[in-house]
């Protein structure tokens, strides 16, 4: 196979990087999948995969990479993405290594005799554990329940204990890492199976014996092991969820849920990563402040502190007292209504859509709240983010459901969603009489706390 022809832009891109090692890694491969797509190369950064190159297969499926490895350790190669472990395969690379393999619709096979001893062992392990990978990771193409999975899990778990016997590669670093890698892979298959859709789910009492050996604390003692695994952060999160079930702890969000999760993580730096994952999903400055007051002490590294600042920056513009978005949208009769038109009112904004089930579930509660606040200076403003093609559907629902308040049409996810960083609906927000932010993530009408918040805002001069 001519490497120059199959490496495509991947070789050109990575070969221009500084030579971080004396010799490059050379990968040549054949994509034998029915659906042709780019083959990607991922490095591992703090327990997560990061794409570093992509190779577009030639007409007959050939692809390749030539790159200087930033570190000796695990990488991923395959047609998958950085968001899911499907269709990407783990290999071990050090300077000067060569890898030749073929990717099929369901797995891969090594080609030739130039592959490193490390990747021969990696492939032997992958072949042994593949039945678990197929049922746990690639569940979308394999119908399986715990009835057939648990026996296989126990069989392969037993074989994994002696798998490395007689398989020393001469690379002491790899041999040590591989022993730990087997445990990481086994735990991934076990927990991913429980945390993905199935036609039947086992009770904790029905878990097979292997699950009793899985302790999140054992995988979170230090950063080195987790940070070197492409799915390390994901596996720890899954382990934590399983351990919570085993200890009959309620899985929940918010500060209480975070407190429970952190109790399974003994390493403070890894605690900081868990805190940042929670922070990334926050929608208000007040929530961010509350979180950091309680757990900001775990942001120990410069990288964690920078990530925290990046999360804070957009939220800071939405803190209480900040300016509201100056929207201008047509109502059901075509008349334009602006935020400025509502000055002097306490405004409850409801961002919703006709296709949104949770939005529609709040309608009866919103009507009740609106009736209870009748005669006050509270103005309910419902802003639809339906697309233009669904405007008639929106108008029909207003009539059929006898919706009150101001009904405005934003014509899709646009400026208001971007300004308030809305990624899911319904979203309720409260603004004071001067058009200043009270909160951009208020309780829903079904929560009595919203009425209390509105009354408090009305009483504030």
Query: pLDDT value at position 317?
Result: 79
Query: pLDDT value at position 357?
Result: 94
Domain coordinates of the chain in residue numbers? 1-115, 235-316, 328-459
CATH 3.20.20.140 fits domain 328-459: no
Query: pLDDT value at position 217?
Result: 97
Residue 98: alpha-carbon gap to chain centroid:
32
- Residue pair 210/153 in contact by the 8 Å Cβ criterion: yes
The dihedral through the CA atoms of 356, 358, 364, 370 has a sign that is: negative
Tokens of 82: 């950085």
Domain 1-115 in CATH: superfamily?
Carboxypeptidase-like, regulatory domain (2.60.40.1120)
Helices (H) and strands (E) in the chain, counts: 16, 15
Q: Where are the beta strands (DSSP E) in 223-367?
A: 328-330, 336-338, 346-352
CA distance 215 to 239: 7
CA distance 355 to 115: 53
Q: Is 94 exposed, middle or buried (CB count within 10 Å of its CB: 0-12, 13-18, 19+)?
A: middle
Sheet with 427-431, edge to edge strand ranges = 406-409, 378-384, 346-352, 427-431, 437-439
Query: pLDDT value at position 418?
Result: 86
Query: pLDDT value at position 143?
Result: 83
Tens-binned pLDDT, residue by residue, of the chain (461 aa): 444 444 444 443 444 444 444 799 999 999 998 888 999 999 999 999 999 999 999 999 999 999 999 999 999 999 999 999 999 999 999 999 999 999 999 899 999 889 999 999 999 999 999 999 999 998 888 789 999 999 999 999 999 999 999 999 999 999 999 999 999 999 999 999 999 888 889 999 999 999 999 999 999 999 999 999 999 999 999 999 999 999 999 888 888 899 999 999 999 999 999 999 999 988 888 889 999 999 999 999 999 999 999 999 888 878 899 889 999 999 999 999 999 999 999 999 999 999 999 999 999 999 999 999 999 999 999 999 999 999 999 999 999 999 999 999 999 988 898 888 888 999 999 999 999 999 999 999 999 999 999 999 999 87
- Residue pair 47/57 in contact by the 8 Å Cβ criterion: no
Please report, in angstroms and rounded to a whole number, the separation of the first and last CA atoms in the chain. Answer: 77
């Amino acid at each position: 196979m001519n490497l120059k022809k199959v490496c495509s832009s991947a070789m050109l891109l990575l070969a221009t990087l500084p030579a971080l090692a004396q010799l490059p890694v050379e990968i040549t491969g054949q994509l034998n999948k029915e659906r042709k797509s780019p083959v990607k190369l991922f490095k591992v950064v703090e327990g997560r995969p990061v794409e570093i190159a992509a190779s577009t297969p030639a007409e007959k499926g050939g692809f390749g990479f030539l790159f200087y490895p930033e570190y000796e350790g695990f990488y991923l190669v395959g047609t998958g993405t950085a968001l899911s472990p499907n269709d990407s395969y783990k290999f071990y690379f050090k300077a000067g290594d060569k890898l030749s393999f073929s990717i099929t619709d369901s797995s891969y096979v090594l080609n030739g005799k130039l592959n490193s001893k490390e990747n021969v062992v990696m492939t032997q392990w992958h072949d042994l554990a593949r039945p678990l990978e197929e049922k746990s990771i690639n569940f979308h193409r394999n119908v399986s329940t715990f009835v057939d999975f648990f026996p296989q899990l126990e069989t392969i778990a037993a074989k994994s204990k002696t798998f490395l016997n007689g398989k020393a590669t001469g690379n002491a670093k790899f041999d040590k890492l591989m022993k730990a890698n087997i445990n990481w892979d086994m735990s991934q298959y076990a927990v991913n199976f429980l945390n993905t859709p199935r036609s039947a789910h086992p009770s904790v009492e029905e878990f097979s014996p292997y699950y009793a050996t899985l302790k999140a604390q054992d995988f979170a003692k230090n950063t080195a092991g987790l940070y070197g695994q492409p799915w390390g952060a994901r596996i720890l999160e899954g382990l934590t969820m399983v351990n919570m079930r085993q200890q009959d702890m309620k899985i929940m969000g918010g500060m209480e849920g975070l407190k429970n999760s952190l109790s399974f993580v003994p390493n403070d730096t890894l605690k900081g990563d868990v805190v940042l994952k929670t922070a990334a999903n926050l929608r208000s400055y007040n929530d961010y402040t509350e979180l950091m007051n309680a757990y900001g002490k775990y942001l120990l590294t410069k990288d964690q502190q920078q990530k925290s600042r990046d999360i804070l920056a957009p939220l800071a513009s939405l803190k209480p007292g900040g300016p509201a978005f100056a929207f201008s949208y047509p109502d059901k009769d075509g008349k334009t209504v602006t935020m400025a038109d509502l000055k002097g009112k306490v405004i409850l904004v409801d961002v919703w859509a006709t296709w949104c089930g949770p939005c529609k579930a709040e309608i009866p509660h919103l009507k009740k709240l609106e009736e209870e606040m009748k005669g006050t200076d509270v103005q309910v403003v419902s802003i639809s983010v339906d697309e233009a093609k669904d405007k008639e559907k929106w108008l029909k629902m207003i009539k059929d459901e006898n919706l009150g308040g101001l009904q405005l049409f934003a014509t899709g996810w646009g400026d208001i969603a971007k300004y308030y960083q809305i990624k899911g609906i319904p979203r309720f927000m409260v603004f004071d009489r001067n058009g200043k932010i009270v909160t951009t993530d208020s309780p829903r009408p079904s929560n009595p706390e919203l009425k209390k918040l509105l009354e408090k805002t009305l009483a504030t001069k």
